[in-house]
Amino acid sequence: MSEFEYRTTTEDLSAENLGEGFFDEWSNPPDPETHLKILENSDHVVLAVYDDEVVGFITALSDGILSAFITLLEVLPDYQGRGIGQSLMNQIMEEIGEIYMVDLVCDANLSRFYAELGFATTTGMSRRDYRMQSGRSN
Ligand SMILES: CC(C)(COP(=O)(O)OP(=O)(O)OC[C@H]1O[C@@H](n2cnc3c(N)ncnc32)[C@H](O)[C@@H]1OP(=O)(O)O)[C@@H](O)C(=O)NCCC(=O)NCCS
C-alpha cells in the first residue's frame, strides 16, 4: 500500500530517496548527494515522503534565540497544488518554534502564498555566486 508521511529528520535517508526533479530551473543544480548534505546540515528540515521517495522538502537555519531563515522549499511538480507546500511551511514554523524573526527570500509571484502564512513583504538584499550553485567548487 502506498504511504505518504512527513518527517522532521534525515535519519535513514539516502541520496537514492531524493528523486529526480528537485532544483527545477536551476542552471547548475546540486546532485542528490549534495542535496542530502544540505538537508543534514540544516538546523531544521521537514520532508514530504511518498513510498520512501522525497517529493517535497523545506530547510531552515536558526540561531535558536532571535532569528531563523527559511532557506529552501520545493515540492516536485507532480505533487504541487495538493497543500504539501503549505503544510511544509506550517511544520517548519513549528520546528523553529516561537522566535522573534523568520525571514525568507522569494519571487514576487509567491508573495501571496507566504502572506497566507503570516509573512509580510519587506525589502531584502541578496547576493548569488552562480559558480557555486551546485554546492561544489567546480
Ligand atoms: C511554491 C511551492 C513550494 C508551493 O507548493 P505547493 O505544494 O504546490 O503549494 P500548496 O498546494 O500548499 O498551495 C498552497 C496555496 O498557495 C498557492 N500557490 C502555490 N504555488 C503558487 C505559486 N507558484 N504562485 C502563486 N500561488 C501559489 C496555491 O494556489 C494554494 O492556494 P489555495 O490554498 O488558495 O488553493 C511549489 O510550487 C514549488 O515547489 N515551486 C518551485 C520551487 C519554488 O518556487 N520554491 C519556493 C522558493 S521561495
Looking at residues 42-54, what average pLDDT do you find?
97
Stretch 96-109: mean pLDDT: 97
HEC secondary structure over 83-120: CHHHHHHHHHHHHHCCCCEEECCCCHHHHHHHHCCCCC
Identify the residue whose C-alpha is closest to ligand 1 atom 29: 81
For ligand 1, whether the C-beta of 111 sits within 6 Å is no
The pLDDT mean for the chain works out to 96
Query: For residue 64, what is its C-alpha cell?
Result: 535558536
Grid coordinates standing for 77? 511538480
Substitution site in 75, 79, 104 for ligand 1 pocket (most atoms within 8 Å of beta carbon) = 75
What confidence tier does 137 reach under pLDDT thresholds 50, 70, 90? low
Question: CA angle, corner 115, sides to 62 and 133, nearest 5?
Answer: 50
* Selected residue with higher pLDDT from 44 and 137: 44
Task: Output the pLDDT for position 2.
Answer: 82
Q: What is the pLDDT of residue 63?
A: 98
* Residue 20: per-residue pLDDT: 86
Per-residue pLDDT reduced to its tens digit, 14-39:
999 997 899 999 999 999 999 999 99
Which of 6, 23, 55, 86 has most ligand 1 atoms within 8 Å of its beta carbon, as the pocket-test mutant?
Answer: 86
Ligand 1 lined by 93 (C-beta under 6 Å): no
pLDDT band (50, 70, 90) for residue 117? very high
Is any ligand 1 atom within 6 A of the Cβ of residue 81?
yes
Strands 101-103 and 67-75: parallel
Beta carbon of 112 within 6 Å of any ligand 1 atom: yes
